[in-house]
A and B are shown apart, each in its own frame.
Chain A
C-alpha cells in the first residue's frame, strides 16, 4: 500500500475509536510535554547562566602576559616554550598580532597601577585601571550612576562604589544598610579628582652621563621617572565590580584607556625590564583579549601561547559548568522521558485492543489480498500518526507549561525586586526533536502490535465473530 493510502486508512481507523485513541494521544502529549518542559528548563537555565557569565566578562576574556612576567596568577608556570628570559616582549606589534587572530574582538592593554588620588586635598591610595571603550556595554555599567567616558582620551574617572564611600568619609556597610549608589554619586559627580603618578620618560638623545660606560643596548634603554599630576572629572559611580576576575588586584578608579596610555605611568615590570632592547613601541605587562564566544577561547589561547606568551582564562571553569548542565540536562531528559515511556505502553495497549476489535477486518483485508506487510504498515501508520499528533500537541503543551512557570517565577522575582528572567527556552531544534522522538517512540511501540496483526491467521480471523 502506498503512503497516502496508509495514512488515510490509519487516520480513519483512529477516528473510529475516537475516545480511546484520543486518550492514548493525550498520554503521548503529556509525555512529550513533560520531556519538552524538562529539557527546555535545562536549556533555559543554561542560557541564563551563560548570559550572566558572558556579561560578567569572565568567559570571553583571555589575559595575555609576557613570559618574562613571573606573575602567574597563582598558577603553575608554563612549562613549554622559551625560558622567561628569552621570550618575546609583549609590545604593540604583539598586541596587534593578537588582535588579528580569528575570533578575537579586541586586544586591549591592561594598564593598572597603585597610586595616590587627591580629593578635596586629602590623599587616597588605590589601584587605578584603564577601561577600553568597549566596556561601555559591560554589565557593571548598566546600573551605573552618571555616564561612561565621553571619549577615549577624556580626563574623566569612574569610581567604584567603595572608593566613593571612602572619598565621602563613609564606612562601607553591607546588608540592608548598604549605601545606595545614587546617594553616593550625587555629591561626587562632576567633582575634580587629582591623580598623582610616576611617569616613565625615555631619555631619547640625552642619555645620562653614566651611559658611556654601559653597553649600547643598555644605554639606550635608560629612562627617567618624573612625578606628574592629572586632573580628572568624576563622571560615574558604579555599583558592580567590572573586574570580578582579577581578585586581589581590584581597581577602584577607572580611566579611559587612551588617556591612561598617554600618561606613560611607570609600571612595576619596568624595573625588571631594564635589559630589553630599546624600542619606541609601547610595552605592556598584560593584554586583555576579548573573544567572540567562549568556544573560541581554547583555540585563541593555543595560538597566543604559540606566539610565546602566557595566557589565562576561566575556560576550565566554563567547561565544568557545561559539564554540569550536560548532566542536569541528562537527568531532566530521563525524568521527562519516563512519562513518554508510560505513554508508549499506552500505545501498545491501544493497538493490541484495536487488533482484538478489528480482528475480522484484518481477516477481510487479508482475504482481499492485503499482504502481511500491508497490515503491519497500517498499524505502524496508526502508531506513527498518534505519535506525531501527540508530539505536536505535547510540544505546544510543554511550551505553554514553560510560559506559565516563567510567568509565575517572574511575578515572584518582581516581588523580590529582581529583574525578570527567562528560565525557559524552547529552541526550534527541540520542537522538531520532540516530535520526531515521539514519532520514533510510537513506531517502536507499534512494533509488537503490528507484528501481531500481520501474523494473524485470516481463516481464524474470518471465523471470529
Chain B
C-alpha cells in the first residue's frame, strides 16, 4: 500500500489554529473548553497534546478532526478552514484527510475486523472488489492478517487498537489524530501501539497529533509537546523522542 506522504508541497504546515475557541453553554454558565488557542503543526510532525482531564485537549482534537465546530477562531488544515466547510464537506474531510483512533477503540461490535476496517471504504464508495484486498493489506500492516474474520470481542485490547489503527489508515489520510490511544491498555501493549503510530509517522509521513495525559509516553514518541490547561495553551516544547525508530527493517519482524 502506498500512502500519500505528508501534506502537499505547497504548504509547510498541516494544521494551523488561530485564536481557536470552543465554548459550551450549560444553563447560565459558559464552559470555555477551548479558549483562544493558536498553534501550527508542520506537516510530518508528531505532536503530543498534554493536559489533565478537562484541560480541553480532546476538544482541540475534535475541532481538528472536523467532528466539532469552533465557537470562534479557525482551524485550517491543508489550506481549508474547517469552520467554513459544510456538514457534507466536513464528512468528506474526515473520510479522506483524517484518520482517528480513540481510547476505547470504537470498533463496531457486530462487524468482523475486516468489515470494520473496510467501513470507511464503503463510505468512500470504493469498489467492492478492491475493498477486501485493501483491508487485508491494512490489517497485515498492523499484524492482524490472521484475525480478519474475528469479531472485536474475540480480540485483546491491543489487537483491537491495532485494528482501529488499520481502519484509520485505510483511506490513506495525511493526518492521524489519536485520542488517548493507550489509555485502556497496559504499558507493554501501549508501547506496541505507539510504535505503530511512530512507524506511520516516519515511514508514511503522516502528521500525528496525539492526546495523552502521560508525559512519559509523550517524551518517548513525540517530537513536540503542547501543554494545555483550562482550554489555554500553557506550554509548547520540542522534544527529542527517546524511542526513535532505529532500523526500519526490524519493524516487520516485530509485528
Contact = CB atoms under 8 A, between A and B. Distances in A.
B171 interface: yes
Contact of A371 (B68, B106, B123, B171): B123
A460 to B, nearest CB: 10
A373 interface: yes
Interface stretch (B89-97, B136-144, B208-216, B224-232): B89-97
A214 interface: no
Select the residue from B65, B91, B98, B108 with max chain A CB neighbours within 10 A.
Answer: B91
Contact of B171 (A9, A360, A369, A373): A369
Contact of B119 (A13, A365, A459): A365
A313 to B, nearest CB: 63
Contacts of B87: 371-372
Contacts of A361: 108
A262 to B, nearest CB: 81
B122 A367 contact: no
B110 A368 contact: no
Contact of B128 (A4, A9, A365, A458): A4
Contact of B95 (A2, A360, A368): A368
Interface string A1-26: 11011000100110010000000000
A369 B119 CA distance: 9
Contacts of A397: none
A367 B94 contact: yes
Contact of B120 (A9, A16, A369): A369
A462 B94 CA distance: 15
Interface in B93-120: 94-96, 98, 100, 102, 106, 108, 110-111, 119-120
Nearest to A461: B67
Contacts of A366: 67, 91, 94
Given A16-B110, A462-B102, A367 B119 contact: no
B125 interface: yes
B92 A371 contact: yes
Nearest to A15: B110
Nearest to A9: B122
B167 interface: yes
Contacts of A458: 67
B20 to A, nearest CB: 15
B124 interface: yes
Contacts of B102: 367, 462
A369 B65 contact: no
Interface residues of B, number: 27
A368 B88 contact: no
B38 to A, nearest CB: 22
Contacts of A369: 91-92, 94-96, 98, 120, 123-124, 171
Given A364-B106, A367-B67, A368-B100, A373 B94 contact: no
B67 A12 contact: no
Contacts of B110: 12-13, 16
A370 interface: yes
A1 B123 contact: yes
B62 interface: yes
A5 B122 contact: yes
A165 interface: no
A358 to B, nearest CB: 9
Contacts of A273: none
Interface string A359-400: 011001111111111100000000000000000000000000
26 contacts: A1-B122, A1-B125, A2-B125, A4-B128, A5-B122, A9-B122, A364-B106, A365-B123, A366-B67, A366-B91, A367-B65, A367-B67, A367-B100, A368-B120, A368-B167, A369-B94, A369-B96, A369-B98, A369-B120, A369-B171, A371-B123, A374-B91, A458-B67, A459-B62, A459-B67, A462-B102
Interface of A: 1-2, 4-5, 9, 12-13, 16, 360-361, 364-374, 458-459, 462
List the 10 shortest-distance A-B pairs measured between CB atoms, nearest first: A369-B95, A371-B91, A369-B94, A5-B122, A364-B106, A368-B120, A458-B67, A369-B123, A459-B68, A370-B123
Given A368-B94, A368-B120, A373-B88, 9 more contacts: A1-B122, A16-B110, A361-B108, A369-B91, A369-B96, A369-B171, A370-B91, A374-B123, A462-B67
